[in-house]
Structure 1
Amino acid sequence: MHAEQLVDWNQVEAELRRLPMPGFVQGLRLKWGEDATGDEAVWVWVRVPEGVTAQPGALEDIETFNERIRNRLGELVPGIWPYIWLEN
């Protein structure tokens, strides 16, 4: 059975938006579906200002936030594969 049949995706998205975010994160954009292998996946675009990765400590903050996303998704939707990207 696919995760999409068992999960309230709106609730999952709301939970992700409640995670502590670095101050420069402007928001999240999410898309749910199957990846190229047919596995359930979620694509998460983290909106950040252009050039933010050049700021001291920003990459570490982004990686910490990405890990929070992965961990929370693992709790809410075990087995889902997250693809996390930055976008401006």
Structure 2
Amino acid sequence: MAGTIAIKNGYVFDPLNEVKGERMDVFIRDGKVVRELSASEMDNAKVIDASGMTVMAGGVDSHSHVAGAKVNSGRLMRPEDHYKCYMKKTPLT
């Protein structure tokens, strides 16, 4: 059956349903998560082995890159970017 996926043995995180890293299977039929698949659906399902992996809804990547004004200002103060800009020490610095 097209559009049927079984994600097996992953560590599932689903805060809405209070699932906190339990090792379990997730079944998808026509783009929607379902509780289970019939035997015939399982025979034709695309099976993904998620052993040792994290499974979560919408979990494309667990980090992001932000470039807001405050972040950019903070980057200007990073000492590793100014090691070549040596300034003589003064009573103030």
* Pairwise TM-score range, normalised by the shorter structure: under 0.3
TM-score by length of 1: 0.21
Of Structure 1 and Structure 2, the greater strand share is in 2
TM-score by length of 2: 0.21
Between structure 1 and structure 2, the one with the greater Rg is 2
